[in-house]
Amino acid sequence: MNYSAEELEKFLDHLATKGLMPKPTVVARKGACSKMLSILDDSEKSDVREIDLDELTSRFINLNGTDYTPDSLKTYKSRVSKSIEDFIRYKLDPLGFKVKQPAAKKTNAKQSTETLQAQPTTTTSLPPSPPTPDTQAAATTNQPSGLTLPIPIRQDLVIQVIGLPYDLKQVEAQKIANVILAMAASNEF
């Protein structure tokens, strides 16, 4: 059987096209796998079962650590690990394969709201803007409305772009880039 990184990518595509896993989850897993596995040479990519995730993560940090927050690195490692685990289970029993669903936590609405309010959603040096009805509604929902993308700006500053659509078009990305460029104070560092 073929357990290559290329087959892993095909497996993730299969999960999305067959509706076995939510598409945003597949996109997030593919992104993490693509970035982390890209540092491996072809022989290391030939069998994902042989990958030592701790070693891979250490190497990834050595090569790209300053570009990612510790939480992002932890999330990437988890996504790669879960992807490989699901891939191996699928290869062993394609007909009986089911995606493991995370255990549902029993909480009431008040606990959920308190938990959400206690968690910061962005990391910027700008003062927070007053909440609008739209931002208040977004803060109280458990469903993410899109991709959250951490962007390291400086050594001590990481911003987050929240709500990017998973199927972002190049024209839309350029529009976002133009808005951010317009906010720049100067070209000097």
Output 144 or 93, whichever has higher pLDDT.
Answer: 93
- Report field, pTM of the whole predicted structure over 0.95: no
Q: Which residue has the tokens 């109280």?
A: 140
- 90-126 tens-digit pLDDT: 999 999 888 887 655 555 554 544 444 444 444 444 4
What 10-15 contacts at long range (C-beta under 8 Å, 24+ apart), as own/partner pairs, is 11/86, 11/87, 11/90, 12/83, 12/87, 15/86, 15/99
Break the chain into its structural domains and give their ranges: 5-92, 120-183
CA angle 58, 15, 77 (to 5 degrees): 10
* DSSP state, residue 143: S
Residue 69's nearest CA partner among 123, 10, 5, 139 is 123
Task: Provide the pLDDT for residue 8.
Answer: 96
Percent of the chain residues past pLDDT 90, beyond the cut: 44
**39 band by pLDDT with thresholds 50, 70 and 90:** very high
pLDDT at 49 over 90: yes
Amino acid at 3: Y
**Interatomic CA distance for residues 71 and 159, integer angstroms:** 13
